[in-house]
Amino acid sequence: MTTVAQTSLRQARERTIRAHMEAGCHHDIPAILATFAEANYDVVPLGAPSNGPAAVEEVLGALFEAFPDFSAGMLAVHHADDIVFADAVIRGFHFEDDRLVKETVYFDHATLLAQIGVSG
């Protein structure tokens, strides 16, 4: 049974996640940073977390430069005691003028294999 306090906490967390993702869709790095209590961005395929506002700003700046049409849409939210998982679709495509020239799909194969019990 979910208590009123738990529901309130979940709603607050979801507001933060939605604000974070909305800022990302607008490439608004200051607004993204404002959603963090302590800026920390851990992009698993990069191999190391980016700690602190300057490091997070650098990672996001590179992301938005590489994918000027970056956007994200949340599909579902899953709550646990101290973490929230947001299933999201992240989009980024390469264009030359109005012509789509490449779709790049980033996928963390190592984590997937570990999750299904295959070690490398």
Q: Which domain holds residue 41?
A: 4-115
In angstroms, what CA-CA distances link 13 with 26, 40, 77, 93, 98?
A: 20, 16, 10, 30, 38
When pLDDT is averaged across residues 9-29 and rounded to a whole number, the result is: 93
* Residue 81 included in any domain: yes
Question: Which segments of the chain are extended strands (E)?
Answer: 40-41, 50-51, 71-79, 84-91, 93-96, 99-103
* Residue 78 included in any domain: yes
Q: What is the CATH number of the domain that holds 58?
A: 3.10.450.50
* Residue 120 included in any domain: no
Task: Tell me the pTM.
Answer: 0.77
Q: What is the pLDDT of residues 42-85, one digit of tens each?
A: 877 677 788 999 999 998 998 898 888 888 888 889 888 888 88
* Residue 76 included in any domain: yes
Domain count of the chain?
1
Pairing of strands 71-79, 84-91: antiparallel
Displacement of CA 104 from its chain's centroid (Å): 17
Determine the Cα–Cα distance for residues 79 and 60; give it in Å rounded to an integer. 25
How confident is the model at residue 1, as a pLDDT?
A: 75
